[in-house]
Amino acid sequence: MDVTKEEIQALYKAHILPENKHPYHFEAKEGTSVSFDAYNPMCGDKFHLYLNVVNDVFDTVHFDGIGCAISKASTSMLLKKIEGMSKIDAKAICEKFINNLTNDHQVDEFNDELNTLIALKHFDGRIDCIKLAWEALLNYLLVKDLEG
């Protein structure tokens, strides 16, 4: 482990636990223009994202499902970030965020809560939890969206 227990607890206390307890737009929303799963078969975390796209902009965004505190908080933070954002900008932010997660060192600055997620990449074995919804959205934007 690269970070101390106290540091992990501080990161959890600041952003993860509140977000886990009160996730953003955490409800099923049938009939949205876009919906897909963010699923990790290795651990069973599974969220369903309900995204309503108007004029290539994520107009309203919701999700539901089951996962750990980190994956749930991360999905919630992702949705807050992309609501009102164009698909092009959302794709760029997903790529930038994942890039900062997977590189040894963080090179870009984000808001406090996203910086917390990136700091938690050093929490053993949890990077997949952080990336889950971000990769699912990126996959949608890179593959499914292009397929029409």
Partner 1 sequence: MLKNIKTYFPIFEKYPDLAYLDSAATTQRPKSVNEAINQFNSFENANIHRGVYDLSNSATKKFEQAREKVARYIGSSNPKTIAFTSGTTHSINIIAYSFLKSTLNKGDNIVITLLDHHANFIPWQMIAQEKGAELRVVPINKKGDLDITSLGKMLDEKTKILSLNHISNSLGTVNDIHEIIDLGHKKNIPVMIDAAQSVAYYDLDILTFNYDFLAFSGHKMFAPFGTGVLYVAEKWIKSITPYNYGGGIIKNVSAEETTFSDYPFNIEAGTPNISGVMGLSSAIDFINTFDKAEMRQHISDVTHYCIEQLSTINDVKIIGTPEKRSGIVSFVVKDIHPHDVASFLNQDNIAVRAGMHCTQPLLMYLETPATVRVSFSIYNDRQEVDRLKASLVALIKFWT
Task: Note the residues at the interface with partner 1 (CB under 8 A).
Answer: 1, 5, 8-9, 12, 17, 42-46, 66-70, 72, 123-126, 129
Sheet holding 34-39, edge to edge: 34-39, 46-54, 57-66
3-class secondary-structure state, position 11: helix
Closer to partner 1 by CB, 82 or 129: give it.
129
As to burial, measured by CB atoms within 10 angstroms (0-12 exposed, 13-18 middle, 19+ buried), residue 63 is buried
CB of 121 to partner 1, least distance (A): 13
Please identify, using beta-carbon distances, which residue of 22 and 31 lies nearer to partner 1. 22
CB of 139 to partner 1, least distance (A): 22
Q: Which amino acid is it at 146? A: L
* Spatial distance between the Cα atoms of 56 and 121, rounded to a whole number of angstroms: 31
Measured from the CB atom, the residue of 38 and 129 that comes closer to partner 1 is 129
